[in-house]
Structure 1
Amino acid sequence: MTQVHTEAIGDVLLIEINNPPINAGSLGVRQGLKDAIAQLAAEPTLRAGVIIGAGSTFVAGSDLREFGQPLHEPQLPDVLAAIEGCAKPVVAALHGAALGGGLELALACDARIALAGTVLGLPEVTLGIIPGAGGTQRLPRRTGWVRAIQMVCSGERITADTARDLRLVDEVVATELQANAVALARQLAGKCRISEESVPAEEAAAIEQAEQAALRAGKGRPAVVAAIEALRDAARLPFAEGLARERAVFQQLRGSAEAHALRHQFFAERDAVRLPADVQATPRGVQTVAIIGAGTMGTGIAIAALDAGLSVVLLEQDEAALERGRQRVADYYQGRVAAGKLQANAAAARQARLQPSTDWTQLARADLVIEAVFEDLAVKLDVFRTIDAHARVGAVLATNTSYLDVDAIARATARPQDVLGLHFFSPANVMKLLEVVRGAQTAPDVLATGMAFGKQLRKLPVLCGNAFGFIGNRVYNAYRKQCEFMLEDGAWPEDVDQALQGFGFAMGPFSVADLSGLDIAWRMRKAQAATRDPRERYVAILDHLCELGRLGRKTGAGYYTYADGRQGKTTDATVRGIIEAASAQRGLIRRPLEPAEIQRRALLAMVNEAALLLAEGVAQRASDIDVVLVQGYGFPRWEGGPVFWARQQDRARLEQDLQRLAATSGHGFRLADLTPMLNP
């Protein structure tokens, strides 16, 4: 199929890119553009050209499937050189998105016109690379150095109006993009090459501040460092030399392990939102959502729904709790307005769609009911019996549970086919991950509704089977348990936390536990105590901390102590005494654990549990596990996830190390067969 079509509209050549769904800059697109520019240059009746995208977008990036494969000519820089070298002006007509190579293509044109609502950006750093076709060289010549650093190093997406203010776009139009672009092309007197402009002068202190901020936010990753260096080249080198250096660094980074991992995560996220064939169905419509529970989680879900344009009924059992929830929502929007992130009228409109209530009959208005109460099965069963009595026929009923049995909850109703799990992550209005849990009797259109609802909230929904902890908490529980074993073996909490942060986790497991509150895990452990196998290796350190009232940050002490909200660098004598006593009780001689051993043991525990989940069908694809751990649990994105990490390891050593881990972990550790997971 031809991916670039040309049509003469009078004396203007319309060059249309047609490579659905996102008009990615594939080989066919690149060759088609180069041929079209040659046609424009050769035909004397043509005075200008317009490049436009078919369908819903301009060009939303390069074809990532070509990365890691042999290069094929022409490359994008060759196409852009042809555009700049053409004696006739070329206009880029932007709509939908102009991202990555799409924005680089637009910047090589002589003028740019955008439809209102278009987004523009250079997201390459988020894929472990830098722009490779002049993005770091042309962008700062228009935006200035400081703004270019902010955009390139974060992958920020900006609106068409912002792009116009930054001189990246010449005009923004509400309608008739093609006609306006053709008219603009006819008005151009000649060529206008951004490459011939200079980078505007800025204060050295402002540049230094922007660079340091970008390095901190990007955790000093290689692509961020390289992007800053390339942007410096734009100001200190001739354009052609800066362009050549940018391309060389781009080629070097595109083959790196980090870029490979980030591409894996990109494709994994794209696949995660797809339902398997046996449950594909048309979603039920959702306009009004009822949320039961006005605590932190419930109000976070409410805010996410309000931001998505939905109407929300927020239900509580008494007026005092309801007022606290309503105030949380009001405070959130007040803060957004004060920070300049939201217009006051938009905030007011969102809050106007919130109806706080203590009247259960209001559930009859809802298309989707979400229970977000205390994580206790008896409490949730009672709530669902009441939901069943008041929710309308055909409404989707969801439980926001982290661990509990969705089927047991569904059996509290007369309509288990309408029940599913929606496991939000806190804060629910911020975290992208949403585990959509499939019960034994959940209807296909209910699952489809859960997935569609997640996308409506701009979240990343991942389908899970109904098993303890679903995907995320199940893997994290195995990881945390192994970290507790390492405390008994000889490590201190700070040793484990620092080692895993060194690997790239956002926080170590014991800092996370203190932040969440140790009593959450303690309650879960007490609930499982009656069914726990006494032969299983069980670490009681957390239990002893809770018995002392050390519940984490909220009580000023947990694994660590806290003063003015700041965590102590090391654990105190009380914690160390409890840990040493646990080691002695198990008959272990404590020994220091090196960071590499800590990291590998923790990762091996994750990998083993991931393989078990896949074998049990809790995860429908291995890459879903990587998405969940990266999006919800702080696993470093640039390592791809535990499955991706395992696939990069030597198979024989991996299996030997897992056997040693099983011996160290003791009774109850199930050694997984890695073959299905490692051979996708």
Structure 2
Amino acid sequence: MAELFNYACVDGVGIVTIDAPPVNTLGAATRAAVMQAMQLAWADDAAQAIIIACAGRTFFAGADIAEFATGHFADPDFITLFDAIENGPKPVIAAIHGTALGGGLELALHCHYRLAVPSAKLGLPEVNLGILPGAGGTQRLPRLVGVPVALDLITSGKPIKAAQALELGILDRLATEGQLQADALAFAKELIASGATAPRVRDRDDKIAPYRGKPEVFDAFRAQNARAFKGFKAPEAIIKAVQAAVESPNFDEGSKREQALFLELMNSPESKAQRHVFFAQRMTAKVPDVPADTPTRDLKRIGVIGAGTMGGGIAMNFLNIGLPVTLVELKQDALDRGVGVIRKNYENSAAKGRMTEAQVEQRMGLITPAIGLEALADVDLVIEAVFESMAVKQDVFTKLDAICKPGAILASNTSFLDLNEIAAVTKRPQDVIGLHFFSPANVMPLLEIVRGAKTDKSVLASALNIAKAIGKTPVVAGVCHGFIANRAMEPYMAEAEALVLEGASVLDIDRVIRDYGFAMGPFQMLDLIGLDVIGRDSTRKTVMSELVKRDRLGQKKNGGYYDYDAERKATLSPVALEVIAELAAEKGVAQRSFSDEELLGRLLYPVVNEGAKILEEKIASRPSDIDVALIMGYNWPVYRGGPMFWADLTGLPKIVAALRGFEATYGARYAPAALLVQLADAGKGFGSL
């Protein structure tokens, strides 16, 4: 215990310093250390005030999320510890640096005074785990900042900078950067000299009184955020908890309401899913046979081939972190157009206040526009974003092999093609890797890193590093058609096509998927991205290919499955219904109706089954990697936890039985994967892997 804290008394001020690396998480051992240190300070007659600070890079960074899974918090639990601090016999000052997040900020709110260095950030991000601040955060924050600000901060989970926290009233003062302990000590001595008491946040009423008896304030906040909160349980519980802070007859009653809502959320499927995703995102960069000390290559200059939408977006990722990019095209007009689009994107960001004009020019100055691959002779990493054709990509890599310097990493942005075939045309397949960005590449958070049969571990480790540097979540995939995300979602799109031919309504399919939590259904998505993107090159006759033949390309031209008015309001297209009916008759597909449950099973169970095959073939290292890939690449609803986590909650025996039923009716493509059957028969889930 003693090694987690240090206590000293300086000039009548007790200084408690917690040192629980790496981020002073408020796990059971840390809480016990805080309690023990505080007891020493309370018992020290020489100490007239107490400072709580942390060693290392940050103040308390929050709770140990692993404790949530047990449903039990070891003594002292958060409320016992925090109440002891708040009700202790001496004034307590929280001295904050780094971040005070979640339980860390709640601890600070139980202190009587708070100061922080300007670089510190404070926030209550529990909503991102599907829970609420359960140790007084929803009751105390409104008492400092008022109801509207508290609702916004807690439901968004976004941290704020120290200066804003001071302005809002969360902090009492700012310390000088690098002088936190000295300034905290001076503050404490001021308090002692002035005879200051130990004011409790819980006793404040001035900021919440104006909202008492005004439920319309909370109703308006619900309505304003209805779209963003849809499907998530935590935001509504947070609203109820803050309302309890305002309306309860006393503070303790409000706290009881907060606790009840916290426990309800902690045991909900939504919170379990969001906590699963939290850990899953942090696991994706850990590749079983690539240890943390694997040597990496120094990537200081980047090359990007193709200045179109994808290539330009890829380039922006590197420009944003200050890396120079050589942007290559075959023709000057395409190059000029691509550079112009990048500038326009940055200027739009500047117009919205997200960056300065100087930053726009600094990033644009990092671009070296070039005609021809010869300009890439000195780059450390080159990424091609050319047409999705094996012949085209092999031609590019053959030329890069002759042009690029030894040790340069040659990367393909292919979405589906065999990376090993691309690497085979070079004399250095060990330097070839797939870096599959999702569109728009400068926005979407997923980066699929495709590991070829001969990709060197140093190349893979370097790719993982650069993914982190540009703010992407990497998911490592083996080589197969479509890799992880695209391959797993192919059956989903195929089922949507099959279902409309069997008599299911386009409207019903899209609605069921929206109700599940996706932002849009499959047909809405196709209309948005453009039917010609997929349908024009279709080798078989489909509803989509037939719509493309009629020059119906979706929202961008003539409508697709839907027609669109001037405001983009959609109505089901009679042309699409006609095409569906004609194709169903031509193929002799029997018509019937479907329940919502049947539609959801037909659309999503094949995704789970494909995920099991991806695991069998070792294309993905773990089920949670598939979940992350589909959440970040296809916007699978985060509160469902991804397809593999959702499958475990649904029950694998139920999914196997449904797939066998589909197989008996529709054919072998629905046969359940061996791994899926094995886990179901053993009474296990994907989580057991």
Unaligned runs of 5+ in 1: 530-538
Matched, 1:267 2:285: no
Per-residue CA shift, 1:539-571, capped at 9, x if unaligned?
A: 72222112222222222322222233615232x
Q: 1:222 aligns with which of 233, 240, 252?
A: 233
Q: Cα RMSD over matched residues?
A: 2.1
Does 1:248 pair with 2:260?
yes
Cα pair distance change 1:89/1:311, threshold 3 Å:
farther
Contact 2:118 2:174 in 1 (8 A): no
- Check whether the contact 2:659–2:670 (CA below 8 A) recurs between aligned residues: no
Using the TM superposition, give the Cα deviation of residue 9 of structure 1 relative to its aligned residue in structure 2, in angstroms: 4.2
- TM-aligned CA distance change 1:319 to 1:651, over 3 Å: closer
Corresponding residue of 2:489 = 476
Q: Name the aligned partner's letter for residue 557 of structure 1.
A: G
Task: Give yes or no for the alignment of 1:183 onto 2:186.
Answer: yes
Any residues of structure 2 matched to 1:220-369 within 5 Å, and which? 221-237=232-248, 238-278=250-290, 281-369=294-382
Distance in 1 (CA, whole Å) between partners of 2:372 and 2:116 is: 48
1:215-614 matches, within 5 Å, as 215-219=226-230, 221-237=232-248, 238-278=250-290, 281-522=294-535, 525-526=538-539, 540-564=542-566, 566-570=568-572, 572-614=573-615
1:49 and 2:56 are equivalent in the alignment = no
| Residue in 2 that maps onto 1:194 | 201
Q: How does 1:92-131 map to 2 (within 5 A)?
A: 92-131=94-133
Residues 22 and 284 of structure 1, relative CA distance in 2, 3 Å threshold: same
- 1:510 deviation in Å? 1.3
Residue number in structure 1 paired with 2:174: 171
| Offset from partner CA, 1:200-231 (integer Å, 9 cap, x none) | 36797876554433333121522111111212
Q: Distance in 2 between matches of 1:224 and 1:130?
A: 8
Quote how far apart the aligned CAs of 1:406 are: 1.0
- In the TM superposition, what is the alpha-carbon distance from 1:360 to its structure 2 partner? 3.1
1:551-605 deviation per Cα after TM superposition (whole angstroms, max 9, x unaligned): 22222322222233615232x2221122122322332321121221111121211
Q: Are residue 154 (structure 1) and residue 156 (structure 2) matched?
A: yes
Name which of structure 1's ranges 1-10 and 139-148 shifts more when overlaid on structure 2. Answer: 1-10
Q: Cα offset for 1:304?
A: 1.8
> Distance between the aligned counterparts of 1:120 and 1:524, measured in 2?
51
Task: Provide Cα deviations, 1:33-70, integer angstroms capped at 9, x if missing partner.
Answer: 12222221111011222222232222222111111313
Instruction: Give the distance between the partners of 2:126 and 2:620, measured in 1 at CA.
Output: 29
1:492-548 CA-to-partner distances (Å, cap 9, x unmatched) read: 22211111111111211111112222222235643xx7xxxxxxxxx7222211222
Q: Which residue of 1 aligns with 2:651?
A: 650
Distance 1:91 1:367, change over 3 A: farther
Letter in 2 for 1:519: D
Between the aligned partners of 1:303 and 1:9, the Cα distance in structure 2 is 52
Q: Which residue of 2 aligns with 1:20?
A: 21
**Secondary structure in 1 aligned to 2:562?**
coil
Distance (Å, rounded) in 2 between the aligned partners of 1:613 and 1:592: 32
Equivalent position amino acid for 2:246 in 1: A
1:419-439 deviation line (CA, Å, top 9, x unaligned): 101111111111111100001
Measured in 2, the distance between the counterparts of 1:17 and 1:658 equals 54
Q: Does 1:620 align with 2:621?
A: yes
CA contact (8 A) 1:154 1:214 kept: no
TM-score, normalization: structure 2?
0.92
- Matched residue, 1:533: none
Give the match's secondary structure for 1:56: coil
C-alpha distance 38-597 of structure 1, shift in aligned 2 (>3 A): same
C-alpha distance after superposition, 1:398-433 (max 9, x if no partner) = 111111111111123221111101111111111111
Out of 9-18 and 495-504, give the one that drifted further: 9-18
Identify the range of structure 1 (447-456 vs 378-387) with the bigger mean alpha-carbon deviation: 378-387
CA-CA distance at 1:358 after TM superposition: 2.1
1:84 corresponds to 2:86? yes
Match of 2:414, SS? coil
User: What's the offset of the Cα at 1:2?
Assistant: 5.0
In structure 2, do the counterparts of structure 1 residues 225 and 288 end up closer, same or farther at CA, with 3 Å as the change threshold? same
| Secondary structure, aligned partner of 1:584 | helix
Distance in structure 2 (CA, Å) of the matches to 1:199 and 1:418: 64
- 8 Å Cα contact 2:7-2:37 kept in structure 1: no
Report the TM-score, using the length of structure 1 for normalisation: 0.94
Maintained 8 Å contact 2:564/2:570: yes
State the alpha-carbon separation in 1 of the partners of residues 475 and 392 from structure 2: 26
Aligned equivalents of 2:432, 2:547: Cα separation in 1: 37
CA pair 213-412 structure 1, distance change in 2 beyond 3 A: farther
Q: Which amino acid in 2 is paired with 1:282? A: P
* Unaligned residue ranges in structure 2 (runs of 5+): 680-684
Distance 1:665 1:475, change over 3 A: farther
> Aligned partners of 1:212 and 1:487: how far apart in 2?
34
Query: Is the 8 Å Cα contact of residues 215 and 224 (structure 1) preserved in structure 2?
Result: no
| 1:246 counterpart letter in structure 2 | E
Aligned mates of 2:323, 2:595 — CA distance in 1: 51
- Return the offset for 1:96: 2.4
How far does residue 468 in structure 1 lie from its aligned partner after superposition?
0.5
8 Å Cα contact 1:507-1:634 kept in structure 2? no
User: Counterpart of 1:33?
Assistant: 34
CA distance in 2, matches of 1:104, 1:200: 18
Matched residue of 2:295: which SS?
Answer: coil
Flag the 1:360–1:642 CA change in 2: closer, same or farther, 3 A. same
Identity %: 40
SS state at 1:67 partner: helix
Q: Which one is further off, 363-372 or 125-134? A: 363-372
Alignment-mate amino acid for residue 648 of structure 2: R
